[in-house]
Structure 1
Amino acid sequence: MVPAIAFIGCEERQELIADITAELKRRGYKIGLLKEEKLPEEPLTPLEVSAVARLSFGRLFLEQEVDNENFDFLINRIFDGYDLVIADGFAHIDRLPKLEVLKKGLYEKSLKGKVSGLLASISDYPVINGKNFSLENIKEIASFIEEHLIKTTRKDISAVLFVNGRRIPLKRYVRETLAGVIEGFISRLKMTENAREILIKVRI
């Protein structure tokens, strides 16, 4: 499972995201960035399709329909092997943990109580309602993300189950049992020595 956190609020949050990404990379983590963009309303192709991929000069651009149900699946498929995904935007995604960026005179209206998963605010002025970080304290923000998302996910999740693109919640006992059964089966196969991560896809 690849953990993700969204930065929402003030539109001028890109510099903060860049600084936090750089700090986490200095700590040895592999970071992915997912940016919310407003696409043109005209259809992508004359066909009624749900996804379009464009390959140009060694870069792959994927345009795909996404909703709350398959957002986790999409992150894990695109950013497999990453330690964290930083999402720029996506306030409407329910299960996505979020940090809101507030700036005096630019964006002071907190979304606390209006969006789900809001962990804290980051601002250039004191915010009394809830946990608050200073915009200048990059290392403290990075440590918060590291402790609450990266390290927690590494320690807590041994198996993740997706069915039809939707993540199915599993209790700890079920996760550990499922991981143990699969690991025991795979370990008896050739060329599976020192396996750290196993991905199985079943089509019924």
Structure 2
Amino acid sequence: MIPVVTFVGFVEKRALVEAVAQELKGRGYKVGLIREKSSPVKTSSLPFPGQAEVNFGQISLVQELDHEDFEHLIYRLFEGYDIVLGEGFVEIEPIPKIEVARASVSRNLFKGKISGVLAVVSDFEVPGSRSFPFEAISEIASFIEEHILLPLKRDVKTVLFVNGRRIPIKKYVRETLAGVIEGFVSRLKMTEGAREIEIKIRLE
């Protein structure tokens, strides 16, 4: 699955997200950006009502999500990317999050109230949290690399979506499914050097 890290908080986050994206790009990663455009209905479920602004380098678009499963949205829009950095999407539980806070705005944090907050970027001390100052762009990128990117690289990247919804499958099943499909495809012509295989089946 394409890893996503979203930056949350009540302060402007765009400059920080873009700086971290540039740092990761400089390390050889292909980075996509997605930003929440409108506030979601208060729900902890994955389907996300509203809009998101999606950035593909020099091209950006506003995507109507229409209660689409968020993980499927990321897979559909950012196929081939190494990581996606987001702004917002507080209510979507499974996404790892980095909170951004300034003392002049509020010391009242999301951390401890929502799931998935791994670290805080702030201009004040946050006890009991992995914290970074705003200027520590390289350290923030290294944190994302260590805790999000590298663990996924050690796993077989096999995902299963049914009706646009990701179905959790255990590691053994992922490896078995990948091996069966790879073995079948390798016997076909023009498949030499395959690194990624995508299959879509429509049942009538």
Smaller-chain TM-score range? 0.7 to 0.9
Q: AA paired with 1:74?
A: L
Separation in 2, partners of 1:6, 1:150: 14
C-alpha displacement of 1:66: 2.9
Q: AA paired with 1:4?
A: V
Identify the residue that residue 47 of structure 2 maps to in structure 1. none
Separation in 2, partners of 1:63, 1:163: 21
* Structure 1 counterpart SS, 2:112: coil
Q: How does 1:27-66 map to 2 (within 5 A)?
A: 27-38=27-38, 61-66=62-67
* Structure 2 counterpart SS, 1:156: coil
Separation in 2, partners of 1:76, 1:121: 27
Identify the residue that residue 97 of structure 1 maps to in structure 2. 96
Q: AA paired with 2:63?
A: L
Identify the residue that residue 8 of structure 1 maps to in structure 2. 8
Identify the residue that residue 145 of structure 1 maps to in structure 2. 144
* Structure 1: runs of 5 or more not aligned: 40-49, 52-57
Separation in 2, partners of 1:100, 1:157: 29
CA RMSD of aligned residues (A): 1.9
C-alpha displacement of 1:157: 3.2
Name segments (4+ residues, structure 1) moved above 3 Å: 58-62
Does residue 198 (structure 1) correspond to residue 184 (structure 2)? The answer is: no
C-alpha displacement of 1:61: 4.7
Number of equivalences: 186
- CA 76–23 in structure 1, closer or farther in 2 if over 3 Å, else same: same
C-alpha displacement of 1:133: 1.5
Separation in 2, partners of 1:60, 1:124: 32
Separation in 2, partners of 1:60, 1:139: 28
Instruction: Please list the CA deviations of residues 123-175 of structure 1 after superposition, one character each: whole Å capped at 9, or x if unmatched.
Output: 11111032211211111110010111122222213311111111111111111
Identify the residue that residue 111 of structure 1 maps to in structure 2. 110
**TM-score (normalizing by structure 2):** 0.85
C-alpha displacement of 1:59: 6.8
Q: AA paired with 2:28?
A: G
Q: AA paired with 1:62?
A: Q
Separation in 2, partners of 1:91, 1:170: 26
Separation in 2, partners of 1:64, 1:97: 20
Q: AA paired with 1:63?
A: E
**8 Å CA contact retained: 2:11, 2:102:** no
Separation in 2, partners of 1:65, 1:35: 16
Does residue 84 (structure 1) correspond to residue 108 (structure 2)? The answer is: no
* Structure 2: runs of 5 or more not aligned: 40-49, 52-58
Instruction: Please list the CA deviations of residues 79-108 of structure 1 after superposition, one character each: whole Å capped at 9, or x if unmatched.
Output: 000011001100001111100001111132
Q: Which has the larger radius of gyration?
A: 1
Q: How does 1:124-163 map to 2 (within 5 A)?
A: 124-163=123-162
Instruction: Please list the CA deviations of residues 29-61 of structure 1 after superposition, one character each: whole Å capped at 9, or x if unmatched.
Output: 11100110028xxxxxxxxxx99xxxxxx8765
Identify the residue that residue 43 of structure 2 maps to in structure 1. none
Task: Please identify, of 24-33 and 122-131, the stretch whose mean Cα deviation from structure 2 is larger.
Answer: 122-131
Separation in 2, partners of 1:60, 1:106: 30
Query: How many percent of aligned residue pairs carry the same amino acid?
Result: 51
- CA 59–23 in structure 1, closer or farther in 2 if over 3 Å, else same: closer
Identify the residue that residue 22 of structure 1 maps to in structure 2. 22
